[in-house]
Chains A and B, each alone.
Chain A
Amino acid sequence: MHFYESTLIDTEEGIQCKVYANSHPDGFVVVKPKYIPTELAEFTKLKRRFILEKCMTRFNLFNSKEVVEENLKILKEKFPYFLYNCDKHNNWFMVVPKEKIKTYHDPQKGVQELMKVPDQDMDPYLKATKGIIGLILQSGIKLEDVGISHSTLLGNYTPGKSDIDLLIFGKDNGWKVIKYMETAEHPLLKWKTKEEWAKYYKDRIVSKQFSEEEYVFNMVRKKDDGFFDGNVFSIFVVEKEDELWYNWEDEHTPLSTVKIRGKVLDDSNSHVRPGYYELTETEIVEGYDNVPIKKLVTWSRPFVLQAKKDDRVEAVGLLEKIKTKDEEYYQVVIGYYDTYTTERGEKEYMKALVD
């Protein structure tokens, strides 16, 4: 069975996990635990939610390094299987062994079912979900290429607050949708304007690595997050089993944290997680000898669709030497799990440079 990124699985103990990649090491599924019953473990400085009869901790890694380390320690003590040390990467990931999976929540089946519900029996949130799916279908993809996930699928959404999370199956389908959304018009469809992104930048102080101009430039052209009838929607493109680019058999040798610049040669895998930009004309500005960089890989959603072909980009991430069956090359990776517990996490970014 292929486990698509951004889908949900429940473990035998009732831990809800978000699948965090499209490719997985043998026998495991790469995940982030999302909701953990508090009766199983008590964590530090994490929010709680009441879901399906239980008080659940909303597990996340967006916290100070010390808090994340403490929470990972608790997780490891209670559920050692979540931490997977990968020899091929010399790094660790979070996984669920396949035999521990109790339920897989099928996002495609969910959409098929949702679209059959008559409008009069839907609340405004579900109507908006149906509406945005209807709009997306005008890109030419089929309903079976669409999925819903997270609270939209499970039904524990909060109208007016919960995002509508949509999955598009297949890389070509993903591009069709993203290209279509760049020009689509609909009375209920809204994107943040340049002014709104600028305000967002000022209000949140989102990054020290971006000037306001760079931030607005990078964000305003992305069409995978928007508003439909007032609800935030997010489009996640996921790879089918026969189009996976990531190979868990490749050997990764971590070398150094580096700052690089380069030009995007190919962005066709930049809309998935993990995704990558093929680079040319690269230069290591800081951190290592100036070796040529073939790929800029991101595990972090904010850097998905961050640059287009021929864009000049700048990034800070982990330089790795990759040895595959056929070749050796260098790549820079942003957003590995270890960035939540190391100083590299605060340094990493990627941006398309404004001309």
Chain B
Amino acid sequence: MHFYESSIITTKDGLHCQVYGNEHPIEGILVKPKYIPTDKIESDGLQYRFISGKKMNRLNLWSDKKKLSKYIEDFKKSYPHYILHSDLHCKDRLFFYVPIDKIERIYYPRHGLKELMSMPFTSLDDYLKNVHEFATFLLGSGLKIKDLGITYSTLMGHYMTNISDINIVVYGKENFWKLMRYLEIVKHPKLAWKTNKQWINFFNRRNRFNIFGNDKFVELMSRKKSEGYFGGPLFVIFGAEKDDETWHRWGTEKYSCHGIVKMQAIVEDDFSSIVRPGCYLVKDSKVIEGDDVKIDKVAFYSRDYCMLAKKDETIEVCGMLEKVEPINGEPYYRVVVGYFDAYISDRREKEYIKVIDNE
């Protein structure tokens, strides 16, 4: 079932969830719980926020692992109906989902932007004026308002001026690539890209990138045009797949796990590397550690790996090896980085995708 990534769902028991992926099981919508009320479970290892009249924990998968593991266990007990037991995956896979009957309200990024753009400019506060201006600037790429959305705090209205990011959703992979090409060449007095120093600062704060050297990290990140600054705030642009262009369909494949592998391969196709989950189609794979099989695909659930590698570049990946058995088609192998359960195991530190210099 198709449902757009990055929409926000509030549940009847007060959770704020972000839709996590564009393909979903028929029983509900796959999500990442983002803000969780503290009346049933609570962790001082997670940040607190006061939202919608409630003290909430903000789920951060990079928080203290011991406390995070405890919290996830508590979550499973207190909110068992939000844990998907997938028949398609190994029993260890962790998916969060919102059953249809638990949805209180859905906040649609596309609708939010349409409404925002219909507002008289003078009625907006400084933060929203900047968002309005940024969206107008992006329309210079040739995209239409209906191709764009706003999400997270901008959509929900609990943003903090000068602090909150501007999160933009682009509907359609072609549209996303078109926008990236535009941003590579366009100039605007309010548009700025992260400097090397800012990327290194970012690098130092995110232990998920510790497999890169500083120079390589800056080189790879600097070519991404999905993140930058507009009029002060950071903006991040996400891609969302349309119904007819998702790279996988929930329920059409089964996955069995074969342990952790480290491998190298050449990127054959990076077209779907802009979405979540995203993927690189690869060739000439070479397993360095783990089961020695031919790997055709590298999938990832973390946005950090979006647009990391380009076609014909060589990547090195450490992740979960899965045998994929399509209902119609030949079995093949893929490596997956960033399943939720990875964050509460030693895979959190082990898993990565990196570009290596071609020999």
A residues near B (Cβ < 8 Å) are 38-39, 47-55, 105-107, 109-110, 113-114, 116-118, 121-123, 126, 148, 153-156, 158-159, 161
Q: Is B107 an interface residue (CB 8 A)?
A: yes
A122 adjacent to B115 (CB under 8 Å): no
Alpha-carbon separation in the docked complex, A51 to B153 (Å): 11
Does B50 lie within 8 Å of A126, measured CB to CB? yes
Asked, given contacts A51-B157, A53-B156, A159-B161, whether A113 binds B53 with beta carbons under 8 Å apart, the answer is yes
B52 within 8 A of A: yes
Known pairs A55-B119, A118-B48; A158 contacts B158 (CB<8 A): no
Interface string of B32-48 (1 = CB under 8 A from A): 00000010000000011
Residues of A within 8 A of B185 (CB): none
A121:B49 contact, CB within 8 angstroms: yes
- Complex Cα gap A49–B125 (Å): 9
Checking B48, B52, B123, B155 against A155 with a beta-carbon cut-off of 8 angstroms, the contacting residue is: B52
Q: Does B128 contact A (CB under 8 A)?
A: yes
Answer whether A154 and B52 are a contact pair too, CB < 8 Å, given A51-B157, A53-B155, A159-B160.
Answer: yes
Q: Are A48 and B120 in contact (CB under 8 A)?
A: yes
A50 to B160, CA, bound (A): 14
CA distance A215 to B119 in the complex (A): 38
> Does B116 sit at the interface, judged by CB under 8 A?
yes
Given A114-B55, A156-B157, A53-B50 contact (CB < 8 Å): no
Determine whether B286 belongs to the interface, using a CB cutoff of 8 Å to chain A: no
A122 to B51, CA, bound (A): 11
Chain A residues whose C-beta falls within 8 Å of the C-beta of B160 in the assembled complex: 123, 159
Q: Select which of B49, B108, B118 is within 8 A of A55 by beta carbon.
A: B118
Which among B111, B119, B155, B163 has the greatest number of chain A C-beta atoms within 10 A? B119
Q: With contacts A158-B125, A159-B160, A161-B125 known, is A121 near B53, CB below 8 A? A: no
Contacts A53-B108, A109-B53, A116-B38 given; does A155 touch B157 at CB 8 Å: yes
Contact with A along B51-85 (1 / 0, CB 8 A): 11111000000000000000000000000000000
Query: B54–A113 contact, CB under 8 A?
Result: yes
Residue-wise interface mask of B (145-156) relative to A, using a CB-CB cutoff of 8 A (1 in contact, 0 not)? 000000000011
Q: Kindly list chain A residues whose C-beta atoms are within 8 Å of the C-beta of B108.
A: 53
> Given A118-B48, A159-B160, do A50 and B53 touch, yes or no (CB 8 Å)?
no
Shortest beta-carbon distance from A198 to chain B in Å: 31
A-B contact pairs, 6 of them (CB 8 A): A38-B118, A50-B128, A53-B155, A55-B119, A106-B53, A155-B158
Cα–Cα distance between A47 and B38 once the two chains are bound (Å): 36
Closest B residue, CB atoms, query A39: B115
Given A117-B48, A159-B161, A161-B125, the answer on whether A53 and B111 have CB atoms closer than 8 Å is yes
Contact: A156 with B158, CB < 8 Å? yes
Task: Say whether B231 faces chain A, with CB atoms less than 8 Å apart.
Answer: no
Once the chains are docked, how many angstroms separate the CA of A113 from the CA of B52?
Answer: 10
Chain B 155-207 residues near chain A, CB threshold 8 A: 155-158, 160-161, 163
Asked if B124 lies at the interface with its beta carbon under 8 angstroms from chain A, I say yes
In the bound complex, CA of A303 to CA of B155 (Å): 38
A113 is contacted by which of B55, B111, B161 (Cβ under 8 Å)?
B55
B28 contacts the other chain (CB 8 A): no
Q: Which residues does chain B contribute within 8 Å of A118, judged by CB atoms?
A: 48
- Bound form: Cα–Cα A126–B49 in Å: 10
Residues A121 and B47 in contact, CB atoms below 8 Å apart: yes
Contact at B107–A48, with CB atoms within 8 Å? Answer: no
Contact of A110 among B49, B53, B125 (CB under 8 A): B53
User: Are A52 and B55 in touch, CB under 8 angstroms?
Assistant: no
The answer to whether A117 touches B115, judged by C-beta atoms less than 8 angstroms apart, is no
Query: Which of A54, A105, A122, A158 lies in contact with B50, CB distance below 8 A?
Result: A122
Does any Cβ of A come within 8 Å of B112's Cβ? yes
For residue A306, give the distance in angstroms from its CB to the closest CB of chain B: 31
Contacts of A39 in B (CB 8 A): 115
CB closest chain-B residue, reference A114: B50
User: Given A48-B123, A155-B157, A155-B158 in contact, is the A55-B50 Cβ separation under 8 Å?
Assistant: no
Assembled-state Cα–Cα distance A242/B93 (Å): 55
Q: How many angstroms from the CA of A153 to the CA of B111 in the assembled complex?
A: 25
Pick from A107, A117, A154, A161: contact of B55, CB under 8 Å: A117
Known: A106-B53, A121-B49, A154-B53. A54 touches B115 (CB 8 A): yes
List 8 A-B pairs, minimum CB-CB distance, nearest first.
A110-B53, A121-B48, A55-B115, A113-B55, A53-B112, A156-B157, A155-B158, A48-B123
Is there contact, CB below 8 Å, between A155 and B50? yes
Given A113-B53, A121-B47, 6 further pairs, Cβ under 8 A? A51-B157, A55-B115, A114-B55, A122-B50, A155-B50, A155-B52
- Distance in angstroms between the alpha carbons of A103 and B356 in the assembled complex: 55
Chain A nearest Cβ from B13, distance in angstroms: 14
Residues of chain A within 8 A (CB-CB) of B156 are 52-53
Which residues from B are CB-within-8-Å of A106?
53
- The docked-state distance in angstroms from the alpha carbon of A39 to that of B37 is 31
Report the Cα distance A219→B192, complex, angstroms: 49
| Cβ contact within 8 Å between A117 and B49 | yes
By a CB distance below 8 angstroms, the chain B residues around A123 are 160, 163
Complex contact A53–B118 (CB within 8 A): no
The residue on A at minimum CB distance from B108 is: A53
Per the bound structure, the CA–CA distance linking A120 and B49 in Å amounts to 10
**How far, in whole Å, are A159 and B116 apart by their CA atoms in the complex?**
20
- Which B88-135 residues have C-beta < 8 A from chain A? 107-108, 111-112, 115-116, 118-120, 123-125, 128
Give chain A nearest CB distance to B263 CB in angstroms. Answer: 41
Q: What are the residues of chain B within 8 A of A107 when measuring CB–CB?
A: 53
CB-CB < 8 A to B51: which residues of A? 155
CB distance from A214 to the nearest CB of B (A): 36
Q: A153 contacts B157, CB within 8 Å? A: no
Q: CA A39 – CA B50 in complex, angstroms?
A: 29
Instruction: List chain A residues, Cβ under 8 A from B47.
Output: 121
User: How far is A117 from B37 in the complex, measured between Cα atoms in Å?
Assistant: 12
Give the distance in Å from the alpha carbon of A116 to the alpha carbon of B49 in the complex: 10
Residues of A within 8 A of B107 (CB): 52-53
Q: Report the separation of the CA atoms of residues A51 and B116 in the bound assembly, to the nearest whole angstrom.
A: 9
A67 to B331, CA, bound (A): 69
Q: Which A residues touch B48, using CB under 8 A?
A: 117-118, 121
B53 close to A155 (CB less than 8 A): yes
Report if A105-B111 is in contact (Cβ < 8 Å); known contacts: A53-B156, A155-B157, A161-B125.
no
Give the docked Cα–Cα distance between A116 and B120 (Å): 38
